[in-house]
Amino acid sequence: MKKDTKLGLFLSLFVLIGFPVIFLVVSLLSGDWVWLITSLPPSLAAGFMGVWIANRAINEERKSD
């Protein structure tokens, strides 16, 4: 796995898992759950798309080796 695909996979997983956790903390501290509710759809969409694209690139690298 190349460094670029590792970075892409890491960033996609951070967006998929990290952003909702950050907004969960913000929601807990502020008491306003709108932060979490409005952050979930975009972070899930971007995270799943990034993981899918990174996984496809990793599979193509493995086939070419």
Give the confidence band of 40 by pLDDT, cuts at 50, 70, 90. very high
How far is CA 62 from its chain centroid?
23
Give the confidence band of 1 by pLDDT, cuts at 50, 70, 90. low
Which stretches of the chain are DSSP H helices?
3-13, 19-30, 34-64
Residue with tokens 């998929």: 16
Mean pLDDT of 50-56: 94
63 burial type by CB count under 10 A (0-12 exposed, 13-18 middle, 19+ buried): exposed
Mean pLDDT of 13-39: 95
